[in-house]
Amino acid sequence: MKDNSHRARHGIMITLCAALGSAACVIEKIDAIIADHGVTYWPSSSEDESGQLDTSTSTSTSTSTSTNDEAASDTASQSGTMGSSAASDTGMHGNSAGTGSTGIVGSVCGDGVVEGEETCDDGNATPDDGCQECARDSIVFITSESYQGYALDGLYGADQRCRSLAAKANLQRPLTFRAWLSTPAMAATDRLLHSRGRYVLTNGIVIAQNWDELISGALQNPIIVDENSQTNEIFVWTGTLPDGQPALGSDFCGEWQEQMDFMMFGGMGVSIATDTTWSFFDQGDCGGDNSIYCIEQ
């Protein structure tokens, strides 16, 4: 109904304007066109075209801003996710390198479970029970057999002699024994385990409470018991100072494996001693027969 009314009015205005030809008719014609097309607003002369541009720009800016905000939000979200992931990775690596709960959990001495580098864990602090600071007693003996200094077949050969005698004597873990023996290039202290546990003879007598006491230059008791728990008081091939370093100044009997035409010497200790001479007393003729010390690892 409204549309037909507009059309009728428009037709009448055209007819009147055609007859009158006045300026009023032009205005009426414009009003009729506006009413016919449903336009309800038009910017004033003071707003001119900038109003349209501003409106368009405002819409464009709003859309652009919205798009940028979404992009920024996505970027922040991705950045946050990456940062969280990186932080998680850093935290994980940090814990694994340190002592964090997600890292490698170290052994706990006293929990009754043997783990990590522990060789025993009896869950108590009872002294003299064979397990000290989660390290079991290490057996020390002097060999019942004696050898010429150049006939030990080197450090490896000396270790094998210790293991063979330990096995024959039915000692536990015979394959872990090594000789207290050095060469100029290899110190006994670098070949042997530095245990927190006690060092004891095959009959249970304590030689030292731990590695530090063993190399202190003062033993609690002399190493005069062999693998069979028999007393053996003799000179001992060592080539080693009481602190475990090579006793330089001799031939080390051709590194304990080489016989020469001329006289050679090697460092010796005295089995009955508890002072520094237990490990180094003097240089001895490599053609002589001496024992060696063997220590469980």
Q: Is 240 contained in some domain? A: yes
Residues 156 and 24 in one domain: no
Cα-based distances in Å from 133 to 4, 110, 128: 107, 8, 11
Which residues, at least 6 apart from 288, have a Cβ–Cβ distance to it below 8 Å?
148, 149, 235
Q: Is 173 contained in some domain? A: yes
User: Is the pLDDT reported for residue 292 higher than 80?
Assistant: yes
Residues 51 and 98 in one domain: no
* 265 vs 55, higher pLDDT: 265
Residue-wise pLDDT tens digits, 17-42: 444 444 444 445 445 544 554 443 33
Q: What is the mean pLDDT of residues 111-119?
A: 84
Residues 173 and 284 in one domain: yes
pLDDT of residue 57: 36
Residues 286 and 171 in one domain: yes
Amino acid identity for residue 180 in this structure: W
The pair of structure tokens assigned to 262 is: 């001329």
Residues 177 and 39 in one domain: no
Pick the range with the lowest mean pLDDT from 3-12, 120-129, 201-210, 232-241: 3-12
Cβ contact 269:290 at 8 Å: no
Residues 222 and 195 in one domain: yes
CA 85 to chain CA mean position, Å: 21
Number of domain units in the chain: 3
Pick the range with the lowest mean pLDDT from 82-86, 114-118, 262-266: 82-86
Residues 116 and 159 in one domain: no
Q: Residue 23 sits in which domain range?
A: 1-64
User: Is the pLDDT reported for residue 94 higher than 60?
Assistant: no
CATH assignment of the domain containing 278:
3.10.100.10
The pair of structure tokens assigned to 292 is: 């060696």
Residues 101 and 147 in one domain: no
Q: Is 82 contained in some domain? A: no
CB atoms within 10 A of CB 77: 10
User: Is the pLDDT reported for residue 290 higher than 50?
Assistant: yes
β-partners of residue 103 are none
Q: Look at the chain and count its residues.
A: 297
Residues 144 and 233 in one domain: yes
Q: Is 24 contained in some domain? A: yes
Q: Is 167 contained in some domain? A: yes
Q: Is 69 contained in some domain? A: no
User: Is the pLDDT reported for residue 141 higher than 50?
Assistant: yes
Residues 233 and 279 in one domain: yes
pLDDT of residue 30: 47
Pick the range with the lowest mean pLDDT from 180-189, 260-269, 285-294: 260-269
pLDDT of residue 276: 98
Residues 47 and 98 in one domain: no
Q: What is the mean pLDDT of residues 138-161?
A: 97
Residues 179 and 220 in one domain: yes
